[in-house]
């Protein structure tokens, strides 16, 4: 089982005025998909709090970190900026695939990328949207996470023979 940490980004959840529905649904969804949810945490909106939380979650960690919330156009939506501030390498193909699942995806500013041996993906704050976007990439996430420590991980079945994918 691969580990996953879930970070809910929401002023309302931090201050107790809103229930963490997206964090709860993501936890249940990952457990059902065979992942080990090792941590769930919450931070307030804003690039600084997100960056600080992501650094803490990624320290000495090899696995997936999923954020939910703060990817839209609201004045406090700064999850992509906080993520960009800490990642080593962006993974635009993941973010692009996640945007394609729903017409509202075109409004998402979500970022995906690596921080040391952690893979970070931003998802929307809605319970429906966070699951939809995860499902768009969940088939390749185990391979991506394994590559962060072992570049010799066999390619998942379905990839063409002799093709070069930049691994």
pLDDT of residue 151: 65
Instruction: Convert 18-43 into a string of H (helix), E (strand) and C (coil).
Output: CCCHHHHHHHHHHHHCCCEEEEEEEE
Domain ranges for the chain, please list them.
Answer: 3-147
Name the strands in the sheet holding 118-123, side by side, starting at the edge strand that comes first in the sequence. 36-43, 3-9, 63-68, 118-123, 112-115, 89-90
Instruction: List the beta bridge partners of residue 68.
Output: 8, 123
Q: In this structure, are residues 8 and 113 in contact, taking their beta carbons and an 8 Å threshold?
A: no
Give the CATH class of 3-147: alpha beta
What is the chain's pLDDT, residue by residue, as a tens digit (167 residues)?
Answer: 899 999 999 999 999 999 999 999 999 999 999 999 999 999 999 999 999 999 999 999 999 999 999 999 999 999 999 999 999 999 999 999 999 999 999 999 999 999 999 999 999 999 999 999 999 999 999 999 999 987 655 556 554 444 444 44
Residues 6+ apart with CB under 8 A from 5: 37, 38, 39, 40, 41, 57, 61, 63, 64, 65, 66
């Amino acid at each position: 089982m691969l580990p996953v940490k879930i970070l809910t980004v929401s002023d309302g959840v931090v201050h107790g005025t809103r229930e963490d529905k997206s964090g709860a649904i993501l936890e249940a969804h990952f457990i059902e998909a065979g992942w080990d949810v090792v941590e769930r945490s919450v931070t307030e909106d804003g690039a600084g709090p997100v960056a600080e939380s992501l650094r803490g979650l990624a320290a000495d960690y090899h696995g997936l970190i999923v954020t939910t919330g703060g990817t839209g156009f609201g004045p406090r939506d700064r999850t992509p900026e906080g993520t960009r501030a800490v990642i080593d390498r962006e993974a635009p193909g993941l973010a692009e695939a996640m945007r394609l699942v729903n017409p509202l995806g075109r409004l998402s500013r979500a970022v995906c990328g690596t921080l040391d041996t952690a893979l970070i993906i931003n998802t929307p704050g809605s319970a429906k949207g966070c699951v939809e976007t995860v499902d768009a990439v969940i088939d390749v996430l185990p391979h991506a996470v394994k590559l962060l420590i072992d570049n010799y991980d066999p390619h998942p079945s379905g990839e063409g023979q002799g093709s070069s994918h930049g691994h």
